[in-house]
A and B are shown apart, each in its own frame.
Chain A
Amino acid sequence: MAEKKFNKKKESSPLSYHEEYRDKKTPQPQKTPSPEKERFTLISGYTPRIDGERIVTGKAPFTHDINLRGLLYGKILRSPHACAQIISMDLTKAKNLPGVKAVLQLKKEKVQYVGEQVAAVAAVNEFIAEKALKMIEVEYKTLPFVVTEEEAMKKDSPRVHENSNVQKFSDYSRGDVEKGYQEAHAVLEKTFKTEIEIHHPTETHGSVAKWEGDRLVVWDSTQAIHNVRNGLAKALNIPQSQVKVIKKYMGGGFGSKLGLNDYTMAAAKLAKITHNPVKIILSRKENSLTVGNRPSSIQTLKGGVKKDGTITSLSLINYTSGGIGRGDRCSEPMIDIYRCPHIKVNEYTVYTHTGPSRPTRAPGHVQGTFALESFLDELAAEIDMDPLELRKKNYTTKNEGGTGIPYSSKGLDQCYQIGAQKIGWHRRNKIPGQSNGRFRKGIGMGTQIWWGVGRPETLADVMLHPDGSVEAICGTQDLGTGTRTYMAVIPADTLGLKPQDITVKIGNTSYPWCGASGGSTTTPSVAPAIRDAAVKARDYLKKMAAEKLEIDSKNIGVADRKFFNQNNPNQSITFKELTEDLSREKVFHGEYVGRPSGYAYNTFGAHFAEVEVDTQTGKIKVIKVIAVHEIGRVMNKQTAESQVVGGITQGVSTALFEGRVMDPSIGTVLNPNLIDYKLATSYDSPEIEIHFVDIVDPRINNLGTKGLGEPPRIPIAAAISNAVYNAVGIHVKETPMTPDKVLQTLKEKEA
Chain B
Amino acid sequence: MEDKNQKKGKPIKRRDFLKGFGGGAMGAAVAPKFLVQEKKTISTKEGNIPVYSKKKISLIVNGKKHTLSVKPRDTLLDVLREKLNLTGPKRICNHGECGGCTVLLDAQPVYSCMFLAVRADGQKITTVEGLAKGGNLHSIQKAFIEKDGYQCGFCTSGFIMSSLALLQRNKKPNLEEIKQAFSGNLCRCGNYFKIYDAVSEAAKKMRGA
Interface of B is mostly: loop
**B-facing mask of A49-83, CB < 8 A → 1, else 0?**
10011011111111011010000000000000000
Please name the residue on chain B nearest to A126 by beta carbon.
B78
- Does B91 contact A64, Cβ atoms closer than 8 Å? yes
Q: Chain B: residues with CB nearer than 8 A to chain A?
A: 73, 81-82, 85-95, 97-98, 100, 127-129, 131-132, 137, 140-141, 144-146, 148, 150-157, 160, 178-179, 182-183, 185-196
Please name the residue on chain B nearest to A52 by beta carbon.
B145
- Does B186 contact A252, Cβ atoms closer than 8 Å? no
Please name the residue on chain A nearest to B88 by beta carbon.
A58
A251 cross-chain contacts in B, Cβ below 8 A: 90, 92, 152-155
A49-B145, A284-B95, A481-B151 in contact; A58/B187 too (CB < 8 A)? Answer: no
- Does A645 contact B186, Cβ atoms closer than 8 Å? no
A680 cross-chain contacts in B, Cβ below 8 A: 190, 192
- Does A202 contact B127, Cβ atoms closer than 8 Å? no
- Does A56 contact B128, Cβ atoms closer than 8 Å? yes
Return A622 CB to nearest CB of chain B, in Å. 12
Instruction: For the complex, give the distance between the alpha carbons of A682 and B182 in Å.
Output: 6
A251-B153, A252-B152, A682-B183 in contact; A56/B145 too (CB < 8 A)? Answer: yes
Instruction: For the complex, give the distance between the alpha carbons of A688 and B175 in Å.
Output: 14
Contact-residue bracket for chain A = 35 or more
- Does B186 contact A674, Cβ atoms closer than 8 Å? yes
B100 cross-chain contacts in A, Cβ below 8 A: 202
Return B49 CB to nearest CB of chain A, in Å. 21
- Does A480 contact B137, Cβ atoms closer than 8 Å? no
- Does A58 contact B129, Cβ atoms closer than 8 Å? yes
- Does A57 contact B185, Cβ atoms closer than 8 Å? no
A61-B87, A127-B73, A202-B98 in contact; A642/B128 too (CB < 8 A)? Answer: no
B194 cross-chain contacts in A, Cβ below 8 A: 641-642, 645
A252-B152, A642-B194, A649-B190 in contact; A56/B160 too (CB < 8 A)? Answer: yes
Instruction: For the complex, give the distance between the alpha carbons of A142 and B155 in Å.
Output: 40
Please name the residue on chain B nearest to A640 by beta carbon.
B148
Please name the residue on chain B nearest to A648 by beta carbon.
B190
Instruction: For the complex, give the distance between the alpha carbons of A673 and B127 in Å.
Output: 25
- Does A649 contact B88, Cβ atoms closer than 8 Å? no
The 7 nearest A-B residue pairs measured at CB: A58-B88, A649-B190, A251-B154, A480-B152, A480-B151, A52-B145, A682-B182
Instruction: For the complex, give the distance between the alpha carbons of A55 and B90 in Å.
Output: 12
Instruction: For the complex, give the distance between the alpha carbons of A686 and B183 in Å.
Output: 15
User: In this complex, which of A55, A283, A638 has the most chain B Cβ atoms within 10 angstroms of its Cβ?
Assistant: A55
Return B191 CB to nearest CB of chain A, in Å. 6
- Does B190 contact A58, Cβ atoms closer than 8 Å? no
B155 cross-chain contacts in A, Cβ below 8 A: 202, 251
- Does A53 contact B137, Cβ atoms closer than 8 Å? yes
A55-B150, A58-B128 in contact; A683/B179 too (CB < 8 A)? Answer: yes
**A496, CB-defined interface residue at 8 Å:** no
**Besides A252-B151, A674-B92, A682-B187, 5 other CB < 8 A contacts?**
A202-B187, A250-B152, A642-B148, A674-B93, A687-B193
Please name the residue on chain A nearest to B159 by beta carbon.
A682
